[in-house]
A and B are shown apart, each in its own frame.
Chain A
């Protein structure tokens, strides 16, 4: 058997990697604290309220993480315009027929496991890109709904920017419901996402996992040239 010739490609620039891991961290924090805000633990205690503040702390962590999350997200949008071609927003937003064709390929090969075929992209494949696109929309929804909820409890200038949001949803309860339901999108996303990263690493053997660490991926020479063309 002939060995493939692999080339090291710098795919994820440092800012993208930093963004990614900060994002992963705060989303996990937001999901845990958000879940607790939605369904607080039963603490059957005799305590006087003044001795304890645990729910306040949970909420505080949520809001802190929310701020980080928000600015991190803003940064990523910015980087989608100035970063390298793998970070560009065009990777996410389906703009061409080819994008859809590639998505379909990925679905057939990676999801329905078309026997013994490989789909090979350099940065994200189109399906992953599209799912990140949905994720970004979910980010935006979370920022808007969360910001809208936060506006009612803060006089800060940032939350104030979101004061119009509740009106759009009709009432705060609907807003909370949307905010809450979207959390489940992230949970499901994270499960699939982490799995797929392992999957690609395993099936393709191109260092997918470590790429978010060091930024480098190993790309087949032919794929490299095809994409360069």
Chain B
């Protein structure tokens, strides 16, 4: 897809050449900054290289209604490690969690990127945006999250919605969503949005998405609802190593029972793996160390929209809306079937009383018919 290829920003070197400087001038210039930076002569080559390679992908990372575990998860990435990402691959120009500058200086750094790289920077968003109370439920530097998002999104080349917060509102959007927490795609239109759901997403998945954009110069292929296919096209259940137990019908019945100690399938203690799209079973967490199911707890569906309201977590079926937490579809269904059977019994008795005459007349008819037959015989 040539059209979505990364626009080639000129390097410092190319810019100088375009402005009519010679390569000699350029080398002089690099030697000069090397001296300024106090580098030995060997450092000149490095600076020359830095100035001749194209600029790192500028990234603005906004934080709204969040718990910052997405940032935490990001720094857990092992391949590539985050130090390499932020030193070599991207230029993380704004992120409240890590940046040195605070207050006005922080805001200035963000604005500089917005003006220097219009249409070129990637906007990462962590957290949902509260739209109630004129945006007063999340303000940064006196500005509402809604306004900050719109301003930063306007010049972005693409948007990455990190985590379930930015993708679907996550916990703060669970009923009754008291602050009007809203996911990013409902607020920003006309920009490519990559949804990377999960609470949080796996660190290597986050790094993978960024690295994809940097390495291939375009956003990864997305599924129907905007998630990168590379990580969200399979259910946890489809790559779960406990799947053979599921197929065999071998289930943990309660936590830490004999079956739990044998690593049976967690379906009956509420595992939502069969309805959850994520890379947990394959990529796993923390450099492949484990994932929820491997550590004995069912999947709670943390990368799925609305997963907080699809609980409770320790039962396969969600609560039946409008009934107590202990009421499942099966309980209500059983009651409905029972009531039906009772109604039928009552109806059957009623029929025999109320329709006695009709029934009697059928019987009469039958008898008289039989008689007629008898006569004819």
Asked if the two chains touch in their complex, CB atoms less than 8 Å apart, one says yes
Closest A residue by C-beta to B233 = A152
Which listed residue, A1, A180, A181, A191, touches B364 by the CB 8 Å rule? A1
A35 to B334, CA, bound (A): 12
Which B residues lie within 8 Å of A96 (CB)?
A: none
- How does the 8 Å CB contact mask read for A107-118 relative to B, with 1 for contact and 0 for none? 000010111111
Q: In the bound complex, do residue B358 and residue A203 qualify as a contact, i.e. CB atoms below 8 Å apart?
A: yes
Which A residues lie within 8 Å of B224 (CB)?
A: 163-164, 167
Which A residues lie within 8 Å of B354 (CB)?
A: 113-116
Q: In the bound complex, do residue A172 and residue B275 qualify as a contact, i.e. CB atoms below 8 Å apart?
A: yes
What secondary structure prevails in chain B residues at the interface with A? helix
Q: In the bound complex, do residue A116 and residue B337 qualify as a contact, i.e. CB atoms below 8 Å apart?
A: no
Q: In the bound complex, do residue B301 and residue A55 qualify as a contact, i.e. CB atoms below 8 Å apart?
A: no
Q: Interface residue count for B (Cβ, 8 Å)? A: 59
A43/B249 contact (C-beta < 8 A), A153-B238, A184-B333, A203-B358 known: yes
A170/B318 contact (C-beta < 8 A), A49-B244, A52-B248, A55-B248 known: no
A78 within 8 A of B: no
Q: Which of B322-376 contact A (CB under 8 A)?
A: 329-330, 332-333, 336-337, 340-341, 344, 347-348, 350-351, 354-359, 361-362, 364-366, 368-369, 372
A149 to B361, CA, bound (A): 53
Q: In the bound complex, do residue A39 and residue B306 qualify as a contact, i.e. CB atoms below 8 Å apart?
A: no
- How does the 8 Å CB contact mask read for A8-47 relative to B, with 1 for contact and 0 for none? 0000000000000000000000000001001111111101
Q: Least Cβ distance of A197 to chain B in Å?
A: 12
Q: Which of A168-212 contact B (CB under 8 A)?
A: 170-177, 180-181, 183-184, 187-188, 191-192, 195, 199, 202-205
B304 within 8 A of A: yes
A4 within 8 A of B: yes
Q: In the bound complex, do residue B351 and residue A1 qualify as a contact, i.e. CB atoms below 8 Å apart?
A: no
Q: Which of B53-61, B88-96, B145-153, B250-258 forms contacts with chain A? A: B250-258
Q: In the bound complex, do residue A116 and residue B355 qualify as a contact, i.e. CB atoms below 8 Å apart?
A: yes
Known: A56-B248, A153-B235; 6 extra A-B contacts, CB below 8 A, are A173-B301, A183-B333, A184-B337, A188-B333, A192-B340, A204-B362
